[in-house]
Amino acid sequence: MAKNTLSSRFRKLDIDEFDENKFVDDHDEAVDNQGPDGAEIDNLIRQGDMMTAFHIALRNPPVITKNPAIKERALAIVLRVLTSFKSSDIEPAVKSLDRSGVDLLMKYIYRGFEKPSDNSSAILLQWHEKAFAVGGLGSIVRVLTARKTV
Amino acid sequence: MSYHSFLLEPISCHSWNKDRTQIALCPNNHDVHIYKKDGTKWTKIHELKEHNGQVTGIDWAPESNRIVTCGTDRNAYVWSLKGEVWKPTLVILRINRAARCVSWSPKENKFAVGSGSRLISICYFEQENDWWVCKHIKKPIRSTVLSLDWHPNNVLLAAGSCDFKCRVFSAYIKEVEEKPGPTVWGSKMPFGEVLFESGPSGVSGGAGDGAGGGWVHGVCFSHSGNRLAWTSHDSTVAIAEGGKTSTISSLSSETLPLLCVSFITENSLVAAGHDCYPVLFVYDGTKGSVTFGGKLDVPKQTSQRGISARERFQNLDRRATSSETTEQGLESLHKNSISQISVLEGGKSKCSTFCTTGMDGGMVTWDVKSLESALKDLKIV
């Protein structure tokens, strides 16, 4: 028989939702960070002050919220800052971050890899190399295991 | 530092006897093999065949000379030496998933088994029925229990679990012991009480964002029982000090996740994992900080030979770099992840030798004194 004649409606059912032992993260519904301010970042980029734009972009990451719109907005802003950096400025920017900042930067880099645009991959790979030199394999493992993602 | 390769398969778990002349290990199958040390050679003297599934945990009680083993067949056996033969006694754990780790209590009157059924079974021997009985600790564990460690007072038990938390439970069994005195972790200790839980609710200070995002692979109490260290799959190691302040200090490391940890003095701990070499961490109680102490591995001396132009281009072709070092293999003694660490001499307060086994089927005994002299910046406080 070439065609399945039986009902396949069950394939649209997510059986894991009904599992009574399903693990749900206990997250606090506290008010979360709303991501960086787009207008402020734009101003700084136009003025050429990349370092400040970089630091502001990495402030207030929307890690707890589950709202995809907020996360997309924050991601877009951070990627705009990262792609407007000159290659020579990347290393000092990474050096100016502390340990958790490097972890956060790695998270954004991998999110940026997910949707490659024309020239974003090249610059993101340079960012990745510099962040890896500081954070090591541990920072990448933390991107993979983080429960709170950007 | 002596490396002995027992087998080609991973060593799932191991345990030493009291005078460290015999080691019981599981060669990644359903059996337990006991090897005896003859000078520098190891000979297999016993094979304990009873489990129907891979043996995941072995613990050898030093004083009473009994071995407890647990496996993926959801059973645990207590083995006693009768003459020249080890005789097993089945312990019904009442779990419906594999057992993952087992540990005798310090007084050896009970043992704890962590399992995939999201609970810990505390088993003790009931004299009237001549039978091992178990009690369960279920709440609030929500995933597999990966590692266990007993507090020296024989009542408190630390458990690391796949629900990203490390907890301290009370495993007080009134049938076998009297009420314990208060400790820094708390004074009321009914069975199953949670005295400490790591995670977003219990975090304060420390480097990294503190909210552990990884499975807790290894836990260890310090010798006094006042400090608890655990390693997690997000490449962090954390130490909590019991008491009113109950602060947690954690360090996010740049290495791959660490699978096992042990205190070697009150302030230093050794951990090892997927990076195949043990690592030293130093805890500063006054500052509440954990720092990386050094990599504990003696690197082999690589010979410096000149590289010809042809080799340079060949390297470029094959490996995209024209570097001189041929890093064909790992430079560490172990060639695969280290899964278990055990203290041999000196206890957890002044350890002088410890041993690691791993997925490469090899066992290495590390001598703390020679490590200190070999690696110049190493300071074990």
Q: Do A100 and B254 touch (CB under 8 A)?
A: no
Mutate one of A23, A141, A144, A147 to test the B interface: name it (highest B CB count within 10 A).
Answer: A141
Q: Cα–Cα distance between A149 and B45 in angstroms, integer?
A: 52
Would you say residue A30 has pLDDT above 60? no
Q: Do B233 and A142 touch (CB under 8 A)?
A: no
For β-strands B41-49 and B55-60, DSSP reports them as: unpaired
Query: pLDDT digits over A88-115, tens only?
Result: 888 989 999 988 889 999 999 999 998 8
**What pTM, to 2 d.p., does this model score?**
0.86
- Cβ contacts of A139 on chain B, cutoff 8 Å: 252, 254
Q: Is B17 exposed, middle or buried, given 0-12, 13-18 or 19+ CB atoms closer than 10 A?
A: middle
Q: Cα–Cα distance between B40 and B333 in angstroms, integer?
A: 18
Q: Do B143 and A23 touch (CB under 8 A)?
A: yes
Q: Residue B207: its pLDDT value, please?
A: 33
Q: Of the candidates A99, A139, A146, which has its C-beta nearest B213's C-beta?
A: A146
Q: Are B297 and B277 in contact (CB under 8 A)?
A: yes
Where helices occur in chain B by DSSP H, the ranges are 309-319, 368-374
ipTM computed for the complex? 0.81
Q: Which residue of A has its CA nearest to B208?
A: A100
Q: Which residue of A has its CA nearest to B199?
A: A26
For β-strands B156-161 and B166-170, DSSP reports them as: antiparallel
Q: In Å, how far is A60's CA from the nearest CA of chain B?
A: 13
Q: Do A99 and B253 touch (CB under 8 A)?
A: no
Q: Do A138 and B200 touch (CB under 8 A)?
A: no
Taken in order B1, B4, B9, B12, the sign of the CA dihedral is negative
A135 and chain B in contact, CB less than 8 A: yes
A23 and chain B in contact, CB less than 8 A: yes
Q: Do A148 and B211 touch (CB under 8 A)?
A: yes
pLDDT along chain B (381 residues), means of 10: 86 93 93 91 92 95 95 95 93 94 94 95 92 92 94 94 92 90 88 85 36 84 92 91 74 89 92 91 85 77 66 79 59 89 90 92 89 71 68
Taken in order B347, B352, B358, B362, the sign of the CA dihedral is negative
Q: Do A138 and B235 touch (CB under 8 A)?
A: yes
And the tokens for B116? 């995939």
**Domain range summary for chain A, segments of one domain joined by +:** 33-145
A137 and chain B in contact, CB less than 8 A: yes
B183 DSSP assignment = B
The residue to which tokens 């500063």 are assigned: B284
CA angle A132, A137, A140 (to 5 degrees): 80
- Cβ contacts of B164 on chain A, cutoff 8 Å: 147
Q: Residue A74: its pLDDT value, please?
A: 87
Q: Do B200 and A28 touch (CB under 8 A)?
A: yes
Greater pLDDT, B67 or A37: B67
Q: Which residue of B has its CA nearest to A149?
A: B213
Mutate one of B209, B216, B236, B275 to test the A interface: name it (highest A CB count within 10 A).
Answer: B209
Q: Do A147 and B142 touch (CB under 8 A)?
A: no
Fold of the A33-145 domain? 1.25.40
Q: Do A141 and B233 touch (CB under 8 A)?
A: yes
